[in-house]
Chain A
Amino acid sequence: MDDRNKKTGRIQSAPENFLDADLAHEITTKGLNPERRSFMLKSFLAASAAIASGSAFAGKAKSAGDPNILNLPEHSTTLGKPVTANPYGVPSKYETNLLRRESPGLTRVSAASVSFAPLQGLFGIITPSGLHFERHHQGWHDIDPSKHRFMINGLVKNPKVYTMDDLMRLPSVSRMHFIECGANSAMEWGNNAVPTVQYTHGMLSCSEFTGVPLSVLLDDCGYDKKKGKFVLAEGSDGSGMTRTVPIDQALDDVIVAWAMNGEMLRPENGYPLRLVVPGVQGVSWVKWLRRIEVGDKPYATKDEAVHYIDLMPDGQYRQYTSIQECKSVITSPSAGQVLLDKGFYNITGLAWSGRGKIKRVDVSVDGGKNWKKARLESPDLPKCLRRFNFDWVWDGSPAILQSRAIDETGYVQPKINELREVRGTRSIYHNNAIQSWKLAASGELSNVQTY
């Protein structure tokens, strides 16, 4: 039936190739007529029959080996599902364990709560949008983008209102950045309080964001360059989330974003509009963004005057703490996981800094006595996650795994005791200490502190 087949004497094995190339072309250009339809059906049946008999033969073979190899599985011997069976693709049905999860007892009501990203099973640096960590203060909504409005007012010549149509016409940028909640690792300032990296570090995600630079919008409204010192970002949700951002930062790399990882933002992450404030804790990345006000003083809103303030040992609070300093963590093998056997393991993890790029990551397997440089994967971007890998052979004896990141400013991720010497143990936010995972001779890993 096919000239090429005749020449090589091979039987076409893949059902999708059962059609002659010329015929396929004719069908795609001219469509199916009844004649062609029946021809196609016949060739299809012939192809399936050839495959079915092949598998029957393999099934009868009695040689030794893995039945998964010897008995051809159903997916090798039958026709698969057509295109657009899932018009919006979903993960494999076998991927049901890695979900964002709440930490029981951390918050009291789940609409003012947080869900953690399952870092223990993620690869590379991009967080799948459906697993992006969540933090809501008054629940989330799925907002009609045609009714969403964005306003700029305050110290501007021309207070303006923009629709999504307006915003999406403006010059846009696409940037990859991490977002970390200021309270990530908060439960670990004192003692180990949670069992796995999902709960110690899972208020961390990283995506490519697309939107218009806030500087473009501020210019468009003619902001007051002399008096304008801060902007207030305000959400349209029930909490009307509000945060102050210094104007220099607002003009530097802040984005009014509508897209995340190639599609529109997910509702839980602020659809249709959120602020992206690179390097700064997540609470400033105001979701469901409705307004930017230019002002000459900070605003002391609830989530910068009562929360997201860092308590020092002398009883003073540091207010407007924002930058997420350099930090790293081994995501696998990590606490709550168990190694299958002795031998080779790829120790892998994430490093990031709110002050710029990651310059180096070191790994220790003996609780911090000796360190070696890890391999850094690309890309090398400022205020973005960086994946690291480290070759290691486990000899079966107990070990303590740690990672330590250094950013381009030369800042070295501290040990927990170094942090505590300055900030005590009650400051809740901005714990960027080195994380230790203890590996027992049984292969089980657990969360420990050592320095």
Chain B
Amino acid sequence: MFKRINLFLAVVASMALSVSVYADAYTNIGRAATAEEIAAWDIDVRPDFKGLPAGSGSVEEGEELWEEKCASCHGVFGESNEVFTPIVGGISEGDVKAGRVANLVGNRQPQKTTIMKVATISTLWDYINRAMPWTAPKSLKPDEVYAATAYILSLSGVIPEDFTLSDKNIAEVQKLMPNRNGMSLKHGLRTVDGKPDVHSKACMKNCKTTGKLTSTFPVSARNTHGNIQQQNRTFGAVRGIDTTQPPAKTLKETQERLKLAATEKKGSAKAKGDMLSVAKKNNCLTCHGVKNKIVGPSFNDIATKYKDVKNANVTLEGKVKKGTSGTWGDIPMPAQSASDRDIKALVNWILKGN
């Protein structure tokens, strides 16, 4: 079908040798994009800096901006692992010289930071410009993007603290990127006709194996993803294992458990999981973790704070509904649009602690 369309167009083109014929084929479908429209959307910045707007930002300005708009998620030094993997850390002076990050060899630093991986400064600029801050993407001005990028690079020791990054000197800074020589295109996974790098054979009989289990999923972890029994049908060829119990030892034990499970009434231990999904549905978990702080305090910290406060639920319901600030820090919580019923239930659940 594709081929046919291409063929059709090729034939049309060769007859008239004019692009306007293409347009004729689909008259009145689509229209010319205006220069303003293209400018509004064509924001990408390439490694050769095509698309980079003019501007500049200093490390100092970057620090200020970072503390205001980035640190709540990424940590004051870009080191936080709470909302996302750390942006800064894991590189040395030698890396800046070599353009290869030594910590990427072996398993010296299991947690890879952004700066350890990124080879091209344009990637940072482009991404911060299009997507950060996470909850208010595309709100930064070009100068602010320069400043934020400068701050990240200064924290990483790539540029000095008194540096001002601009469209004029960004190509020079590219030459200092710690992992600038760290990318390879020599592999067969780029295109459909690329050559595979792993070559196996399909042995059918008496094949060589180690006969050993080189890894097993730990029994102690079998309930970490919730009870697997409830993630399978209650009828059919198989059942889910009740992972709240230790493994059955014999088929007979398995069958006794299955019989018991079939006669038991459906569990009522769902309540806890349900409130978590209510919190998720209402977007609370974008800013709050149950156990960890994100932008807002952790739910458990809220529970602890109000443990002995009378009628805390009423006060907090109001705050969630109308929005609030100043109790936990500078970042405000916007008014939440959840239903009154959900807010009431959520606040009660938060205050109980989990």
- A-to-B contact residues, CB < 8 Å: 94-95, 97-99, 101, 103-105, 108-112, 118, 120-121, 137-139, 151-154, 157-162, 166, 169-171, 173, 190-196, 198-199, 213, 215-216, 219-220, 222, 232, 234, 238-240, 242, 246, 248-249, 251-253, 279, 290-291, 293, 295, 297-302, 305-306, 309-323, 325, 332-333, 335-342, 345-346, 354-356, 360, 362, 367-372, 396, 404, 406, 411-419, 421-423, 426, 430, 438, 440-451
Judging by beta carbons under 8 Å apart, are B5 and A213 in contact? yes
C-beta contact mask, B242-272 vs A, less than 8 Å → 1, else 0?
0100011111011100100000000000000
- Main DSSP-derived SS at the A contact region: loop
Asked if B239 is at the interface (CB within 8 A of a chain A CB), the reply is yes
User: Given A97-B234, A109-B286, A302-B123: A199 and B225 within 8 A (CB)?
Assistant: yes
17 CB-based A-B contacts, threshold 8 Å: A97-B231, A108-B84, A190-B215, A195-B217, A213-B5, A246-B191, A249-B191, A301-B127, A302-B126, A310-B187, A314-B105, A315-B100, A318-B186, A332-B238, A337-B241, A442-B248, A444-B247
User: Given A101-B225, A153-B33, A411-B196: A300 and B122 within 8 A (CB)?
Assistant: yes
A440 to B37, CA, bound (A): 63
Residue on A with the closest CB to B193?
Answer: A355
Judging by beta carbons under 8 Å apart, are B231 and A198 in contact? yes
Which 8 residue pairs of A and B lie closest in terms of their CB atoms, listed nearest first? A315-B105, A315-B104, A240-B130, A302-B127, A336-B228, A321-B189, A238-B137, A447-B217
Residue on A with the closest CB to B216?
Answer: A448
Q: B41: which of A138, A291, A319 is its contact (CB, 8 Å)?
A: A291
A417 to B214, CA, bound (A): 10
Query: Shortest Cβ distance from B11 into chain A, in angstroms?
Result: 12
C-beta contact mask, B152-193 vs A, less than 8 Å → 1, else 0?
000000000000000000000000000100111111111111
**Using a Cβ–Cβ cut-off of 8 Å, how many residues does chain B contribute to the interface with A?**
120
User: Which residues of B have CB within 8 Å of A340?
Assistant: 237-239, 255, 258
User: Which residues of B have CB within 8 Å of A372?
Assistant: 204
Judging by beta carbons under 8 Å apart, are B185 and A319 in contact? yes
Residue on B with the closest CB to A362?
Answer: B202
C-beta contact mask, B26-55 vs A, less than 8 Å → 1, else 0?
100111110001100111101110100000
User: Which residues of B have CB within 8 Å of A169?
Assistant: 26, 29
- Main DSSP-derived SS at the B contact region: loop
User: Which residues of A have CB within 8 Å of B5?
Assistant: 171, 213, 215-216, 219
Most buried by B among A97, A234, A448: A97
Residue on A with the closest CB to B250?
Answer: A442
User: Which residues of A have CB within 8 Å of B354?
Assistant: none
Most buried by B among A279, A355, A413: A355
Judging by beta carbons under 8 Å apart, are B205 and A300 in contact? no
User: Which residues of B have CB within 8 Å of A445?
Assistant: 241
Within 8 A of A (CB), among B73-108: 81-84, 100-102, 104-107
Query: Shortest Cβ distance from A17 into chain B, in angstroms?
Result: 31
User: Which residues of B have CB within 8 Å of A213?
Assistant: 1-2, 5
Within 8 A of A (CB), among B280-307: 280, 285-286, 289, 292, 294
Please tell me which stretch of B58-66, B111-119, B308-316, B333-341 contacts chain A, meaning at least 4 of its Cβ atoms lie within 8 angstroms of it: B111-119
User: Which residues of B have CB within 8 Å of A417?
Assistant: 214
Q: B243: which of A97, A195, A251, A333 is its contact (CB, 8 Å)?
A: A195
Asked if B141 is at the interface (CB within 8 A of a chain A CB), the reply is no
Most buried by B among A101, A195, A220, A421: A195
Judging by beta carbons under 8 Å apart, are B231 and A222 in contact? no
Known: A220-B30, A323-B189. 10 other contacts (CB 8 A): A95-B233, A108-B292, A158-B23, A190-B215, A194-B225, A299-B44, A299-B126, A306-B118, A370-B204, A442-B248
User: Which residues of B have CB within 8 Å of A291?
Assistant: 41-42
A97 to B84, CA, bound (A): 30
User: Which residues of B have CB within 8 Å of A430?
Assistant: 189
A121 to B119, CA, bound (A): 42
Q: A139: which of B127, B286, B292, B294 is its contact (CB, 8 Å)?
A: B286
Query: Shortest Cβ distance from B330 into chain A, in angstroms?
Result: 20
Asked if B325 is at the interface (CB within 8 A of a chain A CB), the reply is no
Query: Shortest Cβ distance from B61 into chain A, in angstroms?
Result: 23
Asked if B206 is at the interface (CB within 8 A of a chain A CB), the reply is yes
User: Given A253-B2, A318-B189, A368-B209: A414 and B251 within 8 A (CB)?
Assistant: no
Asked if B352 is at the interface (CB within 8 A of a chain A CB), the reply is no
Q: A98: which of B187, B214, B224, B233 is its contact (CB, 8 Å)?
A: B233
Q: B123: which of A138, A305, A337 is its contact (CB, 8 Å)?
A: A305
Judging by beta carbons under 8 Å apart, are A341 and B202 in contact? no
Asked if B240 is at the interface (CB within 8 A of a chain A CB), the reply is yes
Judging by beta carbons under 8 Å apart, are B241 and A444 in contact? yes
Judging by beta carbons under 8 Å apart, are A157 and B19 in contact? yes
Judging by beta carbons under 8 Å apart, are A111 and B189 in contact? no
Query: Shortest Cβ distance from B42 into chain A, in angstroms?
Result: 6
